[in-house]
Amino acid sequence: MGKAAAFGLPVYTPLAELARIFDPDLGAFHQHSSAYPPTTLLFFRIFADLSYIRALLLWDIIELISFVIASLLILRELRSRTTLDRLALVIVASVLWPPFLYDLYHGQLMMTILLLVTGTWLSLKSGRDNVAGIFLGVLLALKLYAWPIWLFLMLKRKYRPVICAIVVFLLLNFITIIWLGLDSVLEYYLHVAPAISLIYRTHTLNFSLFALGATLVGAWFGAILVLLVLVLSLGLAWRAPDFDHAFMIMVAVAIIAGPVSWVHYLITLLPALCLVVSWKEMQMREKVLIAILFYLAVPEIYESFLSPRMVALIPAFFVLGLILLLSRALASQNVIDKMLSRSTQRVADRVGG
């Protein structure tokens, strides 16, 4: 895609054709156009002068740097809540997690997205709404999947980061239009993105709620499924114990709310996982759910005896379970039980008295 822009070719020429022109050794793995929006070229054009292998190595280095910076920011933010060894254990485990390795192998950008998500979260916490809006705007320009976070901020009436994100997103698209022309931008949003969604809707490794629902029943059911989970997540985030948990719920639902979800998207859950291990107290129900999530997070445990389609469903269950866990709904239920028990005891004491 970057080479196409550099040599004046249509940027959404099918990848197989671009590979044949610029690097025949790559083969014809993807017959479709690039799945990334044209605004990504503003950041990746510098790689166009390199061979694919060199560009991949350089980009993976940037991804690793992004992961390290995000990890350090998370450690600094959460170290007051728990011991550093707990947080370090989660970070090291994430390095050994398949999503981490898949991101590097396929040259994806989810570790950069992780850094932008972390920057948005910490900027919002510290009251730097303009900076948060810039991070979120760049994030949306690179990958639209983070729109549930934007929606949550809108509902919370945090208008400054919302407006700032829109301005940054539109500005980057405007620059892209000046560079590539309006046709390239419209081609992506009107033709390429819908076509990519349709191509991968039935892919066995796509665990997005829309894809799962569309495969099981139809596109209408997939849309309803996304809407239901989104509304539920917004409700849980609204009632979350604090902003940290609310934000992480929206980060989690963003992974499965789009038309396509791949396993390397899960690496963006690193701050959410670190937040969970920072809890000082945990109810038994939450410990059980954590044990289940650990089981679901390691495919090597179950992939030998489950069908490929069932294995592909597991990440969706993992994300949904994490959303429930982050809401602290299980702990809240325990609190409710105790309150009801105390109220009942008081009534009994009064009656007895």
Model pLDDT for residues 189-207, shown as the tens digit of each residue: 999 999 999 998 888 889 9
pTM confidence score: 0.88
In the prediction, which pLDDT does 37 show?
92
Mean pLDDT of 159-169: 96
**Is 16 part of any domain?**
no
Mean pLDDT of 334-345: 47
Mean pLDDT of 315-328: 88
Residue 218 sits in which domain range? 35-352
At 65, the pLDDT band (50, 70, 90 cuts) reads very high
**Is 102 part of any domain?**
yes
**Is 25 part of any domain?**
no
| 26 Cβ neighbours under 8 A, 6+ residues apart | 19, 52
**Is 2 part of any domain?**
no
In the prediction, which pLDDT does 61 show?
95
- Total number of domains constituting the chain: 1
**Is 15 part of any domain?**
no
pLDDT greater than 80 at residue 331: no
**Is 1 part of any domain?**
no
Q: What percent of the chain has pLDDT over 90?
A: 51
**Is 8 part of any domain?**
no
Q: Which residue has the higher pLDDT, 337 or 130?
A: 130
CA angle 287, 290, 295 (to 5 degrees): 130
Mean pLDDT of 302-314: 76
**Is 124 part of any domain?**
yes
Q: Which residue has the higher pLDDT, 27 or 221?
A: 221
Rounded distance between C-alpha atoms, residue 329 and residue 305, angstroms: 32
